[in-house]
Amino acid sequence: MVQAKPHPAAATEQLHSISPSESEQVIQFQHSEQYRTSEWYTGDGQITASGDNRSFTVSATYTLKAEVKLVKGVFERSNPTLAQVYSRRRRCVAIVDQTVAELYGEALHGYFQHYEIPLELLICRAWEIDKTPETVHRLLKFLGKDGCDVSRNEPVLVVGGGVLSDVAGLACALHHRRTPYIMVGTTVVAAIDAGPSPRTCTNGTQFKNSLGVYHPPVLTLVDRTFFRTLATGHVRNGMAEMIKMAITDDAVLFEQLEHHGERLLETHFATLSEDVDLAQIADEVIYRALFSYMKHEGTNMFETYQDRPHAYGHTWSPRFEPAAKLLHGHAVTIGMAFGASLAVEMGWLQPADRDRIVALCQRLGLSVYHPILEDINLMLEGQKNMQRKRGDGGLWAPLPTGIGRCDYAHDVSPTLLQAAIDSHRQFCSTLPNQGQGQEMYLRDLGLE
């Protein structure tokens, strides 16, 4: 007689405890590795039965593994990073920004041909005006049954700037409810901020970025050689987000930007120069900015916790940025400089540190003032919107308390806000060009 093998348990159950009442049962449920199908996503949980056979509660935890890597020449044949991911899947499904496809399409095709990996490509125009649910639908069609029929564990390759990472990340989140993607950010913003970010989104009818889900790429490849072809205004724009990370979290990064920021801007992060030392500094600056960002944002998956240094410069600006048609980076630096004046007004920051913050932004041609700040009703409205967005518990505006550190203002009264606006206006009236930067409007870079 052949004895049947015992069926492997689908999951291990552990009766954890009986508490607090005698009848309550807590069961820890751990799924068996043998049935696991995703390289990146795992989960387990706990189920607590009340014991009356009428109700129970479930709490589940999951892990998302997200790797971020600096690489050089991602489409160079000598670089096996992407081939290692896609050759065993026998194809690569990719969504690529239209401008990037024009500039790097040949290299992209050449790379996959070299490794004999079929490439299924969608070229997507990804301007700010394309950040719509319609674009997300188009991407979903490409990923779905009518298109490439991407399986739920097949990582989609996304190559482009922050607009594409937001909409394509969202499409991946919706396809099969969660499909992994690999992000190659080709702008400074996408490389150090939007690209690895867990926040994917599209614009809603009234608010920017209002529809979305938390879905970080499983792998972010940061290759600064793409910055070579960027407009200098876009490089400057991305540096605003780096300054934000430096002020609130990393004093060393701040000093590096003080010393090397202008050269990094001029040379598009050492891609327009042969200077080997500068190339090393460029990598170091990018790494520090990324690490700081992901330390706080990558581990705070649902933005449940509002101790978020990287929201600095983003409290009032979402209201005044579209109203003044500012480029995002300039709106952020205006918000940061204003926040520094507010912090001085509150006694949190020494005036000398505010001056350093403003001087760094100005040296890189970033704005620190716009007269729209004087519209107190708009500023109060922005504050109210932000309070709702951050969860109604408070404003939680990150404000610097020194270089490389910050704290969070729970409330900012209308009187305090007005006093900070007045003192910031007065301070900026003495600055060259009253604190306005270079190419500060959307139309300057053709993004309107």
Q: How far is the CB of 434 from ligand NAD (least distance, A)?
A: 25
Among 175, 215, 234, 424, indicate the residue that binds ligand NAD (CB under 6 A).
Answer: 234
Token pair in block for residue 63: 């892990």
Using CB under 6 A, which residues numbered 70 to 129 contact ligand NAD?
97, 99-100, 103, 126-128
Closer by beta carbon to ligand NAD, 212 or else 420: 212
CA distance 144 to 377: 46
3-state secondary structure of 70: strand
Size of the site for ligand NAD (CB under 6 A): 29
3-state secondary structure of 444: helix
Is-contact 300 308, C-beta < 8 A?
A: yes
CA distance 365 to 360: 9
Closer by beta carbon to ligand NAD, 186 or else 436: 186
Among 135, 179, 237, 256, indicate the residue that binds ligand NAD (CB under 6 A).
Answer: 237
Can residue 197 be called a binding residue for ligand NAD (CB under 6 A)? Answer: yes
CA-based Rg of the chain, rounded to a whole angstrom? 24
Can residue 162 be called a binding residue for ligand NAD (CB under 6 A)? Answer: yes
**Opening angle at CA 361, ends 359 and 365, nearest 5:** 110
Which among 116-124, 163-171, 213-221, 298-306 is the span making contact with ligand NAD, rule CB under 6 A?
163-171
**Burial tier of 444 (Cβ tally within 10 Å: 0-12, 13-18, 19+):** middle
Can residue 187 be called a binding residue for ligand NAD (CB under 6 A)? Answer: yes
Can residue 194 be called a binding residue for ligand NAD (CB under 6 A)? Answer: yes
Strands (E) across 252-351 are located at none
Can residue 271 be called a binding residue for ligand NAD (CB under 6 A)? Answer: no
Closer by beta carbon to ligand NAD, 186 or else 248: 186
Can residue 253 be called a binding residue for ligand NAD (CB under 6 A)? Answer: no
Which among 137-145, 146-154, 225-233, 417-425 is the span making contact with ligand NAD, rule CB under 6 A?
225-233
Which residue stretches of 115-174 are H helix? 133-143, 162-174
3-state secondary structure of 146: coil
- Residues ≥6 apart with Cβ < 8 Å to 179: 143, 150, 152, 153, 154, 155, 156, 172, 173
Q: How far is the CB of 329 from ligand NAD (least distance, A)?
A: 8
Q: How far is the CB of 432 from ligand NAD (least distance, A)?
A: 26
H or E element: which one contains 27?
A: strand 25-31
Among 30, 229, 350, 434, indicate the residue that binds ligand NAD (CB under 6 A).
Answer: 229
Site for ligand NAD, rule CB under 6 A? 97, 99-100, 103, 126-128, 131, 160-164, 166, 186-187, 189-190, 193-194, 197, 199, 209, 226, 229-230, 234, 237, 328
